[in-house]
Amino acid sequence: MNNNYCIIMAGGIGSRFWPLSRKIKPKQFLDITGTGKTLIQQTFQRFSKIIPTENFLVVTSINYKDLVKEQLPELTEEQILPEPLRRNTAPCAAYAAYKIKSKNPNANLIIAPSDHLILKEEEFIRQIEKGIEFVKSKNALLTLGIKPCRPETGYGYIQVKRREEFNKLDNLYKVKTFVEKPDIEMAKVFIESGEFFWNSGIFIWSMSSIISAFETHLADIASLFSRGLKLYNTEDEIHFINKTYSECRGISIDYGIMEKAKNVYVLTADFDWSDLGTWGALYEHEDKDTEGNVIKGDNVLMYNAQNCIVNISDEKVAVLQGLDGYIVAESNDTLMICKREDEQQIKQFVTDVRIKKGDSLV
């Protein structure tokens, strides 16, 4: 019996990628990178190299259940976990963990977002396999930390304490602290210190370690989801989950457990990673023309324009002149033009459009 499972979190709405990403079809269900595969399909294929298909679970919004079924037809109905309400990542992880526990209490869990870009996949899988070996033999909560290549303000950071000895690993550290997204000056200090790594949001746990952590640090959530151990994988599961989510508070796994537990470790690595959270993150990873532009669209004409990211549907013609450092993104009935340096305002744009023009455009 294979005890290794992968939980893919796919419930986000990707508002920072508006107007391409929308509530009705957020970025994890889009082919953002032009590979012919959506981000969730890439995630599934990546982990399929080491996880059998039957050991996957996808936790998503009830609104996206059909999208998951359509894009990952390999999965059964039982493997798609629809959340009735948005409650952040801790309830998401608890739901999947307790459901797996009801079938296999000896499981090892990989939990990963559905919308990350990873270019060096062989190195990534190598680190995941090393991580599984570690958590199998030690009461530990493990995360992956990415060696930073620039002072990035869009990511959280992990500060490491000391290197740990385990099976000759040279990249395993005890975690000192988790740090929220810094400003640019603080990010530069982090880089110079050599003690800080980007927080990938990818975790590896044994079942016993994560259940113990929930019981210790999020006892209320543990209590709610543990009540369903005899109901998971039965026809009563949906009713139980609907009731549980209505009673459950929203909190992230980072804040609820990882920042509080004493047995947290990090494997540091470099596998060319991005969380693709923003247009700027996509710009950093895409090939650029001689003027520093990233262009998606067959009919985009650029004149005296540089350092822009442009995403225009193929059937539309766009002529852009004199722009430097802009995001130009179009989707159906919406066009957004925004300075790359001001992309943190996109969430506000989305809020304003919703208030003034209605939900259909967001």
Distance CA 6, CA 50 (A): 10
pLDDT of res. 230? 95
State pTM to two decimals: 0.93
pLDDT for res 39: 96
Of the CATH numbers 1.10.150.120, 3.40.190.10, 3.90.550.10, 3.40.50.1460, which one belongs to the domain with range 4-274? 3.90.550.10
What is the structure's pLDDT at 73?
Answer: 98
Q: What is the pLDDT of residues 240-276, one digit of tens each?
A: 999 999 999 999 999 999 999 999 999 998 888 888 8
6-25 burial: b if 16+ Cβ within 10 Å, else e: bbbbbbbbbbbbbbbbbbeb
Domain parsing of the chain, residue ranges: 4-274, 286-357
* C-beta atoms surrounding 235 within 10 Å: 7
Spans in the chain with pLDDT lower than 50: none
The pLDDT score that the predictor gives to residue 241 is 98
The torsion region of residue 34 among left (phi > 0), alpha (psi -120 to 50) and beta comes to left
